[in-house]
């Protein structure tokens, strides 16, 4: 059975899963291990020496952050989402910017 939006298809043969790449090549555990070796050794082509990519999103601040949860009426959430969309921002970024602007005026 093929899966939409993936570069490989999954086939079940004799109760064992096989992954077939778009070009028809079977992707085995051995092949995956072979592909992983240069990454694990830090020898990935095209990556600057000494560069270490950290997983996850970029930090918001050098300062430690804390999650603050608040309850808002649905109408306000919808208005925030609409305004954030207009400004090409996420909901969180819009709220952070609005709070910071208010604090700067104080």
User: Hey, which residues does 17 pair with through a beta bridge?
Assistant: 12
* Total domains in the fold of the chain: 2
Residues 16 and 8 sit within 8 Å (Cβ to Cβ): no
Asked whether residue 62 is assigned to any structural domain, the reply reads: no
Q: What is the mean pLDDT of the chain?
A: 79
Whether 79 is covered by a domain: the verdict is yes
The residue segments making up the domain with residue 20 are 8-40
Mean pLDDT of 48-76: 80
Examine residue 32 and state whether it is found in any structural domain, yes or no.
yes
Q: pLDDT at residue 1 above 50?
A: no
Q: Distance between CA atoms of 92 and 80, rounded to whole angstroms?
A: 10
pLDDT at 6: 47
- Residue at 52 is within a domain: no
In the predicted model, is pLDDT for residue 14 greater than 60? no
In a domain, 20, yes or no: yes
Q: What is the arithmetic mean of pLDDT over 39-56?
A: 67
Q: What is the mean pLDDT of residues 58-77?
A: 89
55 assigned to some structural domain: no
66 within a domain of the structure (yes/no): no
> What value does the mean pLDDT take over residues 5-16?
52
Q: Is the pLDDT of residue 95 over 90?
A: yes
pLDDT of residue 2: 42
Residue 22 lies in a domain: yes
Angle CA(65)–CA(67)–CA(68) in degrees, nearest 5?
A: 125
């Amino acid at each position: 059975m093929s899966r939409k939006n993936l570069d490989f298809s999954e086939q079940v043969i004799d109760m064992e899963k096989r992954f077939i790449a778009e070009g028809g090549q079977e992707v085995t555990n051995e092949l995956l291990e072979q592909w992983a070796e240069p990454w694990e050794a830090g020898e990935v082509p095209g990556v600057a020496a000494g560069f270490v990519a950290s997983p996850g999103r970029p930090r918001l601040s050098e300062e430690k952050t804390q999650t603050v949860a608040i309850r808002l009426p649905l109408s306000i959430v919808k208005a925030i989402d609409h305004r954030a969309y207009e400004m090409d921002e996420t909901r969180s970024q819009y709220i952070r910017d609005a709070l910071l602007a208010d604090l700067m005026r104080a």
